[in-house]
Amino acid sequence: MIVKEHEIPAKLLKLAAAHKCLFEHHPDYRQVETELYRERSGYAGELRVDYPLSKLDFPHFILHDLRLRLFQNFFQMDTLLLTERFVLILEVKNFTGIITINPTFNQLIQTVDGETHTYDDPVIQVEEQKQQQLQWLGFSSVHELPVETLVVMANPKATLDITSEKHRDYIIPISQLTQKIRDVSQKYREPIMPVDATSRLAHKMKDHHNFKNYNIEKNFRIHYDDYKRGAFCPNCKASIMIRMRRRWECRRCKHRSADAHVNALKDYYLLKGEEVTNREVRDFLRVESASLSKHFLKNADFETVGKTNTRKYLLDYDYQKDFSYLLQ
């Protein structure tokens, strides 16, 4: 049973909006593009575990992208499998190429087209998650439930060349995931807690989940003024539309739209924040009419704060439902 579905990261959506709106000559444009590619790849990899998990034939509860608080910090797990007998934490990587491990320096080394890239050892990463999860369970008065870990290489094009014995049992290709989980299940045959108590624990974890936001300007040399203004064409996705005769029109492909401003306001929300004034909407959409921008905002039915001359509209969007246009 899936208790918590996959979560589209705020970082992925904000990078997608920044990449779309940033001028290509900006010094951080390529860096944003590279980071966006990594985020897309990582998210796609996490989705790949759904099929092997769907083949499990014993009672279980699944929580994806779970981020819990422990003391003053947070720890996040790609996928957590909870049963009445054990907990299994999955760390999912979507690397391509040849994957090796340097156990001396605790590094994962990826070789693609003759180039090497070095990352932290994912086994150490997931083992740290295990220790944090054990502490979290202890504070929830769950002391006997064992916690296991696996690192799943989700990309079928990856070649694992792992000679370190201590890593072989923990790093697996996704094709082996279902059987590996069954092996873990056979290892723990006796229930530690009733299924209904396990269900309550899973939902408690979901209730304690903390969504992780992301700030573009803190991670790149980017300011709001570096972005292109306007409503992008939903057809060619490259050109800024102009407002003509109660419609938006693209000068490049001649596509017309009645509601291109809707996604533009969503872009603003990701790039700047939830508060916006009528003047700021006019500036971002490149329209001169205050009544037109007011019409856009009133139709969206946003909550407002302040009086007429200082009124701010509170943009309100759902990260999981309202930004599919950025992932296409």
Average pLDDT for residues 51-73, to the nearest whole number?
97
Q: Which pLDDT belongs to residue 308?
A: 75
Q: Which two tokens stand for residue 299?
A: 């139709």
238 confidence band (pLDDT: 50, 70, 90): confident
- On the question of pLDDT at 290 being above 90, the answer is yes
At 109-150, the pLDDT tens digits run 999 999 999 999 999 999 999 999 999 999 999 999 999 999
- Give burial (CB, 10 Å; 0-12/13-18/19+) of 143: exposed
Our measurement of the distance from residue 172's CA atom to the centroid of its chain's CA atoms, rounded to an integer in Å, reads 23
- CB-based contacts of 99: which residues, under 8 Å, 6+ apart? 108, 109, 110, 153, 158, 159, 160, 161, 162, 171
- The answer to whether 214 touches 10, Cβ cutoff 8 Å, is yes
At 82-118, the pLDDT tens digits run 999 999 999 999 999 999 999 999 999 999 999 999 9
At 173-211, the pLDDT tens digits run 999 999 999 999 999 999 999 999 999 999 999 999 999
**What is the percentage of the chain residues whose pLDDT exceeds 70?**
100
Helix or strand (DSSP H, E) at 130: helix 122-139
At 3-61, the pLDDT tens digits run 999 999 999 999 999 999 999 999 999 999 999 999 999 999 999 999 999 999 999 99
Q: Which pLDDT belongs to residue 227?
A: 97
The phi and psi torsions of 143 (rounded to 5 degrees) equal -110, -20
Helix or strand (DSSP H, E) at 266: helix 260-271
231 confidence band (pLDDT: 50, 70, 90): very high
Nearest Cα to Cα of residue 93 among 22, 153, 158: 153
- On the question of pLDDT at 247 being above 80, the answer is yes
Cβ atoms < 10 Å from Cβ of 49: 22
- On the question of pLDDT at 288 being above 80, the answer is yes
Dihedral sign of CA atoms 46, 48, 263, 28 in order: positive
Q: Which pLDDT belongs to residue 199?
A: 98
Q: Which domains does the chain have, with CATH numbers?
A: 2-207 (no CATH), 229-326 (1.10.10)
- On the question of pLDDT at 166 being above 90, the answer is no
